[in-house]
Amino acid sequence: MSYTAWKVEDGIAWITLNRPPANALARAVMDELDDHFETVYKDESIKCVVIHGEGRFFAAGADIKEFIDVADAKEFAKLGEKGQETFNKIEQSPKPVIAAIHGAALGGGLELAMACHLRVAADDAKFGLPELNLGLIPGFGGTQRLPRLIGQSKALELMLTSESITGTEAHAYGLVNRVCEPAMLLEEARKLAQVIAAKSPLTVARTLTLAKMSEGDLAVGLAEEIASFGDVFAREDRVEGVNAFLEKRKPVFTGK
């Protein structure tokens, strides 16, 4: 039985979480996400990815029922390691990944959304990391990604209180890029993905890599930016982009 759906349309891969009632991130779901991103990495026809949830939720967290079967702390840590490996694969994807969030993105669901490069949310969506209510802590990257996205002070407040915020509030905090009415969510995500998919895959991938390096040493990042700046100049996509601009037409990029 599959808990995710997969389709590719016009260069956009759509991954749909479908594990009723709350799209909890069970081991099987995580394995399927991992497999899908193996395809994303390898398939050159894919330019952008959108992840969303079927039904009432984006993803309401990890499957708490699976925790009961965990034998000891070492096994539980391995569960967290697996989650981090999958979400790191999403974050490091050379193709941009957009989370389209409705209903709730809680716990592991929010950690999945934060591993994506961009987030579009319904204005009434619910965001939070409630793990402390269970005597746990976020284990799929939440303690590291949330402060990077919204600042340490607000991130600590959300984690320590286990309180949730709405999509509108998440947008104000910088946690999501765009917010819209629930009925328009997938269309808004599609529009964003289409804009990105029309760009050169080469320069998109380079930009993702360079932006990630901004979390490290500035001098190292600047040096890599210059190296990439010179390299893309020698590529066919640069010639196509400049000629299309001068000829007042849309460019057709090939990633070369």
**208-241 pLDDT tens trace:** 999 999 999 999 999 999 999 999 999 999 998 9
Instruction: List, as one string, the DSSP characters of 206-232.
Output: HHHHHHHHTTS-HHHHHHHHHHHHHHH
Q: What are phi and psi of 131, to 5 degrees?
A: -55, -35
Calpha distance 39→74 (Å, rounded): 31
CATH code of 4-197, in short, is 3.90.226.10
Q: Which positions are annotated as active-site residues?
A: 111, 131
- What residue segments make up the domains of the chain, in order of their start? 4-197, 201-246
Calpha distance 211→163 (Å, rounded): 30
**pLDDT value at residue 180:** 98
**Residue 54: how many other CB atoms lie within 10 Å:** 15
**pLDDT value at residue 4:** 97
**36-94 pLDDT tens trace:** 999 999 999 999 999 999 999 999 888 888 777 776 888 888 888 999 999 999 999 99
CA dihedral 227, 208, 192, 26 (to 10 degrees): 160
Calpha distance 18→123 (Å, rounded): 22
